[in-house]
Chains A and B, each alone.
Chain A
Amino acid sequence: MIRLKNVSVAIDEKPILKNINFEFEPGKIYAVMGPNGSGKSTLAYTIMGHPSYELQQGSRIIMNGEDITEKEANERAEKGIFLSFQSPLALAGVKVQQLLRLALEGKKDPVAIYKQVREVAKKLKISDDLLNRSLNEGASGGEKKKLEVLQAVVLDKNFLIFDEVDTGVDVDALKTIAQYLDTHREGKTYVIITHYNRILHYLKPDKVLVLAGGELKKVGDGSLAEEIEINGYESVLGGK
């Protein structure tokens, strides 16, 4: 589905990701783990196409056989990539309904969008008040994450990256989010960036990727996440 070929990224000439090679296959769940500052969010931004992350020479991102390395974020979204942000910014005067209507202009009927947003919001336990406020303004951590998931569902992409969707979320909200994602995973690839095994109880990963110091250090199955939880990264990565 998406293949990372020799992906190296620098910000202001400081290397953040070093020569990542990996192929995400369709319909699978991936967990990306690693200590703080290991490059997890950078990986997410890089796949989504953030303009400040400079890809180094030779880096290639291939999606379904097509080279998307030079594509802008909106073009990547068109091709099916979605990113749920770790800390989504507040957008003054912009409501989630408005955002989705504009994002899906000419693709989906506005009335249908409106109805779907209300339905999904209900299932995710997003209050009307939150829905009608400016996006993320005065929202708690959990509320912000739910609004990200809401957008993921309505935009209906097939390669979804969730950057710490479980951080700052209480147990109940996490359960709501994770179960919802699990029931809608048909035909989708999930990349779940997380520090904890918690969310992985609901969404069983096919593969676990461990990043450290900007390198892809280890790839394993679901048991790797449990091992990390019990023994920590140092032991898993060989005490480095």
Chain B
Amino acid sequence: MAEKNQRTAYGQTLLELCRENKDIVVLDADLGGSTMGKMVEVEPGLEDRHIEMGIAEANMLSTAGGLSRVGKIPFAASFAVFAAGRAYDQIRQSIAIGKLNVKICGSSAGCSDFGDGATHQSIDDIAYMRVIPNMSVFVPADANETVAITKYMASHEGPMYIRVNRNPYDNVTPEGAEFKPGEPVVLKEGTDVTVFACGVMVPKALEAAKALEGKISVRVVNVPSIKPMNCEAIAALARDVKGVVTAEEHSVIGGLGGAIAEALRLERTPIEFVGVEDRFGESAHNYDDILNYLGLTAAHIQEAVEKIYNL
């Protein structure tokens, strides 16, 4: 049975990649047990391929840059708020300007670390990663896609960011499907409204589309590649419907919604965002509670689709 947890899928894939390619190295900032980098650290014969960098994310990201300059393919991981947020400047200055071949994993991303609250919940990482020139930004919809994206990152040059969810849920993409950077993936056809979604909001968009069956015909598009983005493909999926909805576990400012709005800037397509309003997350006892509290459910997508449809 396919893995359902993105972190585990990431760790298992790294382990497999490390066995195949001696140049792949894994860096952690004392959170390897959570990012699953530890799967490499404890693997007999691969211990030296896991580099523990301590609780010092800035140094970890620049160090990853240095490793790439001597031919290594470093995967550096921590919680997204630390790997991408705390080390933003190192990613910009040490890595992206020089187009270094560094792979960054923002783990426990979005609000998936529900208990720890605002300090640990990344509602802004897509925005500040995608604004950096040369950087690719990928958001897997599920564990299957995490495997495909991680493999892609290992075998293609350039700085790349993958956003990984902490919690398990059922896969919505097929196991073994090829990841194509830039390309939106239609998961369900529809003729009235198109929903572009990423991450955990993909299964929720499918749920919303199902609930609306018979009333509104909804096309559901998975957008695992926030950057690069095939803007023409996005526009084509928006032109033949009344309007579009974007759905993401991220601020409505600068994330998937922003990227889709930019892609559609020459179109006459109404667009509604489902995401975190301009605010931080907060603690909850379980994942569904925080998603519901912040307006990130199938019902919220359904409401947005109806709004567009009834314009």
Q: Do A and B come from one complex?
A: no
B residues near A, CB below 8 A? none
